[in-house]
């Protein structure tokens, strides 16, 4: 089994080296690491070129800042592993938990696995209350249209059979990717599992990027991809 780890990256000069080391130290030995730099301007791109590019399988450099969804679209298109997993370039998610995410696929129980921050007993950093409320609202709204019972639609940690994710046309360029992909895999009739994960959330002063505008876009995407696609 080969695992492709797609890492969308924008202005993560403080964390990208640590994330790459953590992925390499994960329990999954056969890992293809793909970083998509979404036109970083803080020195991340220079660090990738000078130190990291030679240590991993592939780095894709976007000519402009297109957004997370666009970065994932680029990464998915070149993935060659049996399973593809998304790994954010910050330090919020732990690669040591890859086996939790891929085991349902390896056991042929699932086609897609979501790592939920609201299920299970893993450690969670205590952070923004209204982020949690907004996340649960968006997850509930998404569930109403998809008729699946996720607890964390917006999670970064999603694992897919490669043929599944490469068969989906991703249209959203920013954080609308999450409700879009959820709607589309539900419509495809994929077997979806959810497992509890730990979460080490960061604050805005540490570089967190998602904001309230992305929440309104997520509502739009839930309606768009469930009702009009």
One DSSP character per residue, 74-106 reads HHHHH--SSEEEE--SSSSS-GGGHHHHHHHHH
Our measurement of the distance from residue 58's CA atom to the centroid of its chain's CA atoms, rounded to an integer in Å, reads 18
Report the pLDDT value the prediction gives residue 213, as an integer from 0 to 100: 82
Report the pLDDT value the prediction gives residue 70, as an integer from 0 to 100: 98
Domain positions in the chain? 3-227
CA distance 87 to 99: 14
Which residues of the chain are modeled with pLDDT < 70? Answer: 121, 124, 126-127, 202-210, 212
pTM, two decimals, is 0.94
Q: What is the DSSP letter of 197?
A: -
Report the pLDDT value the prediction gives residue 206, as an integer from 0 to 100: 57
Report the pLDDT value the prediction gives residue 205, as an integer from 0 to 100: 55
Report the pLDDT value the prediction gives residue 215, as an integer from 0 to 100: 85
CATH number, domain 3-227, options 3.90.226.10, 3.40.50.1370, 3.90.550.10, 1.10.10.10: 3.90.550.10
Report the pLDDT value the prediction gives residue 31, as an integer from 0 to 100: 97
Report the pLDDT value the prediction gives residue 207, as an integer from 0 to 100: 53
Contact 196, 122 (CB under 8 A): yes
Report the pLDDT value the prediction gives residue 122, as an integer from 0 to 100: 73
CA 57 vs CA 11, 106, 148: distances in Å: 20, 23, 35
CA distance 46 to 44: 6
């Amino acid at each position: 089994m080969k695992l492709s780890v797609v890492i969308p990256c924008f202005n993560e000069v403080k964390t990208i080296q640590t994330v790459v080391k953590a992925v390499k130290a994960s329990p999954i030995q056969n890992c293809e690491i793909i970083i998509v730099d979404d036109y970083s301007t803080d020195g991340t791109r220079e660090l990738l070129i000078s130190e990291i590019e030679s240590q991993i399988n592939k780095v894709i450099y976007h000519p402009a800042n297109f957004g997370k969804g666009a970065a994932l679209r680029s990464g998915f298109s070149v993935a060659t592993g049996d399973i593809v997993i998304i790994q954010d370039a910050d330090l919020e998610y732990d690669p040591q938990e890859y086996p939790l995410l891929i085991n349902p696929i390896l056991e042929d129980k699932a086609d897609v696995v979501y790592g939920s921050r609201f299920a299970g007993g893993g450690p969670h950093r205590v952070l923004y209350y209204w982020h949690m409320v907004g996340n649960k609202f968006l997850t509930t709204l998404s569930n109403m249209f998809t008729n699946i019972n996720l607890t964390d639609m917006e999670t970064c940690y999603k694992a897919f059979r490669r043929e599944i994710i490469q068969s989906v046309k991703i249209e959203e360029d920013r954080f609308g990717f999450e409700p879009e992909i959820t709607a589309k895999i539900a419509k495809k009739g994929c077997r979806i599992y959810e497992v509890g994960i730990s979460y080490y959330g960061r604050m805005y002063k540490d570089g967190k990027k998602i904001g309230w505008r992305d929440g309104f876009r997520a509502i739009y995407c839930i309606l768009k991809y469930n009702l009009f696609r």
